[in-house]
Chains A and B, each alone.
Chain A
């Protein structure tokens, strides 16, 4: 399906306005992009977290489509249960095959950390669903705590900038690569400023007869400490600094989707958000150098992988 802006604008959003997300929230922008890319009925699930509480405060719901929340860690498995039920009921002739697509929207805490085992099991078993990680690089719903997706050097409320420890000491894990290591048919990284790229990836993902995973960088004004009108600008800056490369891996073949020219220094990234203010102090210059080296190394490795494919 070609992605035309005029058509998208005329579609009714399956996520209704009036939800309770913060101004400038990246999550709801991305959810709308994902749902607008899918030209079929969708059944979705979300773990406990920002998206869940802002869209489903009983007796209201922002979901104009079937949606389920179960607990924090188990959305992938919950939706895999629904997807299995669908296959079973269709097979038995108890329900009609309407080409339903199954999509999980989970934050990075629910995906990288507490729900990793569940996601791993679902992908290994080959359930036909798309898992979208709304990766804002910390536990934002509980008030900005570090997760396995939080990059090195970041201030969070559980990696505070103290007198002896300057923010998070460990680098984030590479969850997209972990998904690739599951031999998943489709995995990708995306960001909301590159909406056509993101939506194309969603279309590729849901066309697959099996599991797919898209890790979407999700700017969060509250957690990242920036002005609410900068969400899309920061999404773009993350790709230009190679903090968040855009790529896709189809059946093990790596493909780069965006190559910045020039590649901007990570100090540009650190200057853009309050969570990195401490890194701009002269005494933390060694940290900036160390993080730049990590970003460079990961970028080079990605280029190698994409070249090799």
Chain B
């Protein structure tokens, strides 16, 4: 490559620290946050930055996650760049005001250190929290590794504040697996990171007393629908903006981002579609299958909201069977949140690919390469027999 990239520092940080470090560089005007395992290190570390005067941020140590989001909405409406971070139960407690944030077009950004939802109580990772918020009008990104945690945190600000989008962004990272483990990553110099995220220029502000604005008006049947449509447009526009900013970030760092990331997929017969930190394990499994002459590949989804059906269909076109890995417990559908999107994308484009769904890794259960290899072997059997049933399966689950 002929391009010259910004000179970055190589660091080893825990995932939560990566988020805090990105927040330090972003230097938001207001952070309102509440501690919850396994997100706590973000709040603690950022509090130290505030206490040491390393950021200009006013930090509000609120009394709940609902209050965290409520304060962020007030701050954002007042024209501030506002951020928070949470996970699991905290995201669930925020649920009502997630919709207020997006409906009021507040470009708040939030790291979600993915954690399961009670009951039973479990503090470890799965993606049920963000899947529960998937329809709340927030852009949703997921990271596979520490580098992506950092890169998503910076890009999230640009995506959210883009005038064609003006929607909040949440970006997920696996609790403990990424949040509490050390990972290698490259961190941009502060000035380069600051330059990339730029200044927030709000179109309206609660503090603009010369142009008084009513925020959060009561909307009846006569306008509510049109306002929701505008939100839909913002979400659709996000597809273009996410792509543009992913390219701009690539020109800066050498790390280009899109909606999905294919791995060994071009000639693959069987593929795993997956989100988040277990992608690396699936890649190892694909390598092993390839070593045995099996054409196996992986498609990682980075951007779940807005969902990128065309990118997904383009990547999966020509595969014979696909396993959608679902790390969430969303009950009652024929498949699952991710799988339903995949099936829709393929069906609408008349791609005759067999699709099965595997629920895996709930409540922090580790998934090892052998188990993904078994998924590939299951897919090969489906290809051989032409029979996909059962289309809903559990991976590495004890059978009582």
Contacts and interface: CB of A to CB of B under 8 A. Distances in A.
B209 A65 contact: yes
Interface in A50-77: 52-53, 56-59, 61, 63-71, 73-74, 77
Contact of B97 (A59, A74, A83, A84): A74
A57 B63 CA distance: 32
Size class of the contact patch on chain A: 35 or more
A293 interface: no
B212 A64 contact: yes
A88 B209 contact: no
Interface string B21-39: 0000000011010000000
A91 to B, nearest CB: 7
A56 B78 contact: no
Given A85-B207, A88-B58, A121-B62, A74 B70 contact: yes
B44 interface: no
A81 B223 contact: no
A45 interface: yes
A11 interface: no
A57 B224 CA distance: 11
B61 interface: yes
Contacts of A71: 70, 96-97, 100
Contacts of B220: 57-58
Nearest to A48: B218
Contacts of B78: 43, 81-82, 85-86, 89
A79 interface: yes
Given A56-B214, A68-B74, A82 B207 contact: yes
B63 A120 contact: yes
Nearest to B80: A85
Contacts of B79: 85, 89, 95
Nearest to A80: B71
Contact of A117 (B29, B58, B64, B212): B64
A116 B57 CA distance: 27
A84 B212 contact: no
A118 interface: yes
Contacts of A285: none
B373 interface: no
Contacts of B208: 66
Contact of B218 (A53, A70, A88): A53
Contacts of A63: 212, 214
B80 A43 contact: no
A57 B207 contact: no
Given A77-B67, A81-B70, A85-B30, A67 B75 contact: no
Contact of A86 (B82, B104, B207, B213): B207
Contact of B60 (A41, A58, A73, A80): A80
Given A69-B216, A95-B79, A88 B63 contact: no
19 contacts: A43-B209, A53-B218, A56-B216, A58-B220, A59-B223, A66-B207, A66-B208, A66-B215, A74-B70, A77-B62, A82-B74, A84-B71, A84-B75, A85-B207, A86-B78, A88-B57, A88-B80, A89-B207, A94-B29
Task: Pick the 10 closest A-B CB pairs, nearest first.
Answer: A81-B74, A81-B71, A85-B80, A121-B63, A85-B78, A74-B70, A69-B216, A78-B74, A81-B75, A82-B78
